[in-house]
Amino acid sequence: MPSPSEKSVKPGLLGSARLGRSPKVDSPQSGPHKNLEHIVQRHLDTAWRAPPPRHTVEAFEQACYLLGGNERDRVIFDSGCGTGASVERLARMHTDCIVIGIDQSASRLASALGADLARRRGNVLWVRAELAAFWRLAVNQGWRLRKHYLLYPNPWPKPGHLARRWHGHPAFPVLLDLGGEIELRCNWRIYAEEFGRAMAIAVGKQPAIERFQPEQPLTPFEAKYLASGHALYRLRVR
């Protein structure tokens, strides 16, 4: 008999989702990284100054052109949006906002963007850019988000990869400066725990982590993880 998660996901959902079995995150870590507090505090104390790639600057300029000046106060980011399927679903959920999906992969965004760096349709804007650099350009221009979705970021499960997780990355303070309500979804509880602790270090607020099962998956990965019986975790904090 199929599990409830298997019954809730229908073949073909979100188009590109491949609903075969997906292995659970395998990591030597049994809990949050021992160096988490040190790494987060170091990034909070030291400004991140890496120059943005030229194509990301161009993508940001195009996004600004496509985004009307009176729309800047109702922007939602879908960071690391992959193929962009989640962007369209989020746009239907937030019809009064402009949902900007950002990913660095030209191949993943090929169907949405073609050869462009940015393209808009209705209240959806797709952008191909280096994510952290795009965040900083937005902060420097005074953008403040309504909401920010981080949907199933790469867990980088090896302990030596902490600096590649968003809460261990030098851009973590930039992520906070974008403001709005942050919603993180992942299928590795340790990632959610670390992100929550990093938030507590940065802003003195420990967000709750909930295990949840969406009625309709937002992303192909979410659909695949549900079909594979993974536990899914969500963290939301303003």
Tokens encoding 171: 């851009």
DSSP, res 215: S
The amino acid present at 142, given as its one-letter code, is: G
Please give the model's pTM, rounded to 2 decimal places: 0.89
Rg of the chain taking only CA atoms, in angstroms? 18
Cα dihedral sign for 127, 129, 130, 135? negative
- Asked: is 4-15+32-237 a CATH 3.40.50.720 domain? The reply is no
Counting as low any pLDDT under 50, the low residues of the chain are 1-17
**pLDDT for res 83:** 86
Phi and psi at residue 235, to the nearest 5°: -130, 130
Tokens encoding 48: 């991140």
**pLDDT for res 65:** 93
Q: How many CB atoms lie within 10 A of CB 90?
A: 24
Q: Is 31 exposed, middle or buried (0-12, 13-18, 19+ CB in 10 A)?
A: exposed
Phi/psi region, residue 84 (left: phi>0; alpha: psi -120 to 50; beta: rest), is left
Q: Which pLDDT tens digit goes with each residue over 119-133?
A: 999 999 999 999 999
Q: Which of 231, 225, 232, 221 is nearest to 80 (CA)?
A: 221
> Rounded to an integer, what distance in angstroms lies between the CA atom of residue 223 and that of residue 218?
8
